[in-house]
């Protein structure tokens, strides 16, 4: 697959905050840069946006973490740096992002979330092959994030994007691949679900946690839960999506129970048969990968590992508390 | 007290009866100071924007030079320009010494550092978020300068007011390169000096009042623009 390569992403030269010898971004993908505060994520975007250092590209549209609106109307800010042909698209995006009716107001009257929406509309309207977004969903209310994510994906329209976040839901909603960044370096890079489920080392596991991400379509709603068709299984998770919506379900490895025999009357809704495919003892906890049609990672104590006598090939049942799993709509164009 | 009353009476008589001569002096004052301020601001403000934003090496040295320029004695600038324009000087062939053009040139050098320094001070106070956004927008230089000027507009208005105030009230430099020739290069400040030397205090006071009115009108307009831009809330 065609890719865009950045080399010597290092800044500053003495005692660098970011030190990445090489980073390849596949054309058309949405690459999530994920990591704790102070990992150098913002500095990485600034390097790639050619604001800092060398090795970046001026052909990137960059949305800073705290977008700033200048004196004047929202419309003047929306048009800033846009050619006349991009203005219509910007206004359309402002509409879809819920700030279309504020364009004639003074920019200083906008709330933090509205500032981000207006700035997103402008950033996404610039016709550049690479779009860089720094925490685009952070100032938004939780309930609005999915709809804004959908607009972002639609507006990118196949362009390459790098999106910084330290939120797992945002990563799952927006990302194709996930780069884990810690102390200025990228420690792991791969498909979102794979990286969240299988951290390569303890440092990554400690910071990112072990999470499962499964894909499916909503087939029904039951109170606070949605029923999702997941391969041959039905999976229940928190959500309020309409039937037919493609979703991803996120749940931590700690929410997964592993059982040698079927449970009694208190059996959870999410109970699936599977076969242990891998056992990794990575420190104080053990990760057990169970093939239930798709892999599910469980995080258990070494004590349980012994009691259950788990080894590759063991037949088990996997349970997941429905209230510990959350469905998010996949950011795909409608 | 009789003395002051006489001076004031003379001043009133001068203002009401002087006619064309006063008009010429006022007009030349406005043209010279206005042109010098316009050119000084046109160069100084964009330079101030650049200086306020730059992270270039040596910016401390440039700031220092601008600050020195803001405080440099006008007579010294007048002397430098006189030496340049003197008939045997490097630009003597231009033959513009003791003309209004020479006065404009000398005052541009006085207005520029003020416009640049005050603007740079205002721009330097922009928040890191605003600077980051400016960098992110990758605007062409002229557009970028325009956005910054609008953002720090009250500071730029103060820069314009300070530049105009410096040139309109300045006497040493215009006297040296202009020569205070009646009907040709006499402006309000040099006229005040002239009248005072000849002990015509009423006329000097009258000219001073006109100068004050001009300063008040210009600064009043700029202040009004400053507040109008700030708006309410």
Is A51–B135 a contact, with Cβ atoms under 8 angstroms apart?
yes
Best residue of B123, B129, B136 to probe chain A, by most A CBs closer than 10 Å: B136
DSSP string for residues in B194-230: HHHHTT-HHHHHHHHHHHHHHHHHHHHHHHHHHHHHH
pLDDT tier at A333, thresholds 50, 70, 90: very low
Q: With the C-alpha atoms ordered A182, A188, A192, A197, is the resulting torsion angle positive or negative?
A: negative
Does the pLDDT of residue A332 top 60, yes or no?
Answer: no
Q: How far apart are CA A295 and CA A312, in angstroms?
A: 13
Smallest CA–CA separation between B148 and chain A, in Å? 9
**Average model confidence (pLDDT) for chain A?**
89
State the CATH number of the domain containing residue B175.
1.10.3720.10
A64 touches chain B (CB under 8 A): yes
Residue B16 covered by a domain: no
CATH 3.40.50.300 is held by the domain A3-208: yes
Residue B225: the pLDDT is 84
| Nearest C-alpha in B relative to A134 | B136
Give A63's contacts in chain B (Cβ within 8 Å): 136
Residue B18 lies in a domain: no
Cβ-based neighbour number of residue A115 at 10 Å: 20
Within a domain: B10:
no
Question: CA–CA separation, B204 vs B196, rounded Å?
Answer: 6
Whether B13 maps to a domain, the answer reads no
The more confident residue out of B202 and A264 is: B202
Residue A71: closest CA among chain B residues belongs to which residue? B151
Count Cβ atoms below 10 Å from residue B141 Cβ, excluding itself: 10
Q: For residues B177-211, b (16+ Cβ closer than 10 Å) or e, as one string?
A: bbbbeeeebbbbbbbbbbbeeeebbbbbbbbbebb
Residue A265 pLDDT exceeds 60:
no
- Say if residue A36's pLDDT is above 60: yes
- The answer to whether residue B17 sits within a structural domain is no
Kindly state the average pLDDT of the residues B37-53: 97
Q: Do A80 and B137 touch (CB under 8 A)?
A: yes
Q: List, for residues B75-98, the tens digit of each pLDDT value.
A: 999 999 999 999 999 999 999 999
Partner residue opposite A71 with nearest CB, options B132, B139, B151: B151
> Is residue A263 very low, low, confident or very high in pLDDT (cuts 50, 70, 90)?
low
Domain ranges of chain A: 3-208, 213-329
* Containing structural domain, residue B221: 23-228
Is pLDDT above 70 for B37?
Answer: yes
| pLDDT mean over A284-306 | 87
Measured CA to CA, the distance from residue B197 to residue A198 in angstroms comes to: 92
B82 in any annotated domain: yes
Report the domain count for chain B: 1
- The CATH number of the structural domain formed by A213-329 is 2.40.50.100
| Segment B94-147, tens digit of pLDDT | 999 999 999 999 999 999 999 999 999 999 999 999 999 999 998 999 999 999
Q: Count CB neighbours of A49 within 10 A.
A: 24
Is A136 at the interface with chain B, CB within 8 A? no
Tell me what percent of the residues of chain A surpass a pLDDT of 70.
96
Give residue A195's pLDDT.
87
* B6, part of any domain: no
Please give the model's pTM, rounded to 2 decimal places: 0.83
Closest to A134 in 3D by CA, of A58, A210, A40, A199? A40
Q: Classify strands A130-134 and A60-63 as parallel, antiparallel or unpaired.
A: parallel
């Amino acid at each position: 697959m065609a890719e865009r390569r950045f080399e010597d992403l290092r800044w500053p030269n003495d005692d660098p905050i970011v030190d990445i010898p090489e980073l390849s971004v596949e054309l058309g993908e949405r690459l999530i840069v994920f990591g704790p505060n102070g990992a150098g994520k913002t500095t990485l975007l600034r390097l790639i946006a050619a604001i800092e250092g060398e090795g970046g590209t001026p052909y990137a549209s960059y949305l800073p973490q705290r977008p700033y609106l200048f004196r004047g109307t929202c419309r003047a800010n929306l048009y800033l740096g846009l050619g006349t042909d991009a203005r219509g698209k910007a206004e359309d995006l402002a509409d879809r992002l819920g700030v279309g009716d504020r364009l004639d107001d003074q920019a200083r009257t906008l709330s933090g979330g509205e500032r981000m929406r207006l700035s997103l509309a402008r950033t996404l309207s610039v016709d550049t092959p690479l779009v860089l977004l720094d925490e685009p969903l952070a100032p938004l209310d939780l309930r609005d994030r999915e709809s804004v994510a959908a607009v972002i994906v639609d507006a990118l329209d196949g362009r390459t994007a790098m999106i910084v976040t330290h939120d797992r839901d945002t990563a799952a909603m927006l990302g194709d691949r996930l780069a884990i960044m810690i102390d200025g370096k990228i420690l792991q890079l791969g498909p979102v679900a794979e990286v969240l489920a299988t951290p390569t080392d303890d440092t990554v596991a400690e910071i990112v946690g072990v999470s499962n991400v499964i894909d499916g379509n909503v087939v029904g709603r039951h109170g606070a839960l949605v029923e999702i068709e997941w391969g041959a299984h039905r999976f229940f998770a928190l959500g309020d999506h309409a039937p037919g919506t493609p979703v991803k379900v996120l749940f931590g490895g700690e929410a997964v129970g592993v059982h040698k025999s079927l449970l009694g009357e208190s059996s959870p809704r999410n109970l699936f048969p599977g076969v242990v495919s891998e056992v990794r003892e990575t420190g104080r906890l053990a990760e057990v990968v169970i093939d239930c049609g798709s892999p599910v990672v469980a995080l258990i104590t070494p004590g349980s590992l012994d009691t259950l006598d788990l080894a590759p090939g063991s037949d088990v049942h996997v349970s997941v508390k429905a209230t510990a799993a959350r469905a998010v709509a996949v950011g795909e164009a409608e | 007290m009789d003395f002051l009353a006489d001076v004031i009476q003379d001043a009133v008589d001068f203002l009401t009866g002087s006619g064309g001569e006063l008009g010429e002096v006022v007009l030349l004052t406005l043209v010279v100071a206005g042109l010098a301020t316009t050119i000084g601001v046109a160069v100084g403000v964009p330079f101030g924007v650049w200086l306020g934003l730059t992270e270039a090496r040596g910016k401390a040295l440039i700031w220092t030079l601008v600050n020195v320029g803001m405080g440099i004695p006008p007579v010294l600038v007048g002397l430098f320009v006189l030496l340049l324009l003197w008939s045997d000087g490097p630009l003597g062939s231009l033959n513009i010494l003791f003309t209004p053009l020479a006065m404009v040139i000398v005052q541009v050098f006085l207005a520029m550092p003020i416009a640049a320094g005050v603007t740079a001070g205002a721009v330097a106070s922009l928040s890191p978020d605003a600077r980051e956004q400016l960098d992110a927008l990758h605007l062409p230089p002229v557009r970028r300068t325009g956005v910054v000027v609008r953002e720090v507009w009250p500071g730029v208005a103060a820069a314009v007011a300070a530049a105009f105030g410096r040139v309109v009230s300045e006497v040493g430099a215009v006297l040296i390169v202009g020569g205070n020739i009646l009907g040709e290069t006499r402006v309000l400040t040099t006229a005040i000096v002239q009248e005072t030397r000849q002990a015509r205090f009423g006329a000097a006071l009258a000219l001073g009042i006109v100068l004050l009115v001009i300063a008040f009108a210009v600064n009043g307009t700029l202040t009004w623009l400053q507040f109008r831009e700030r708006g309410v809330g």
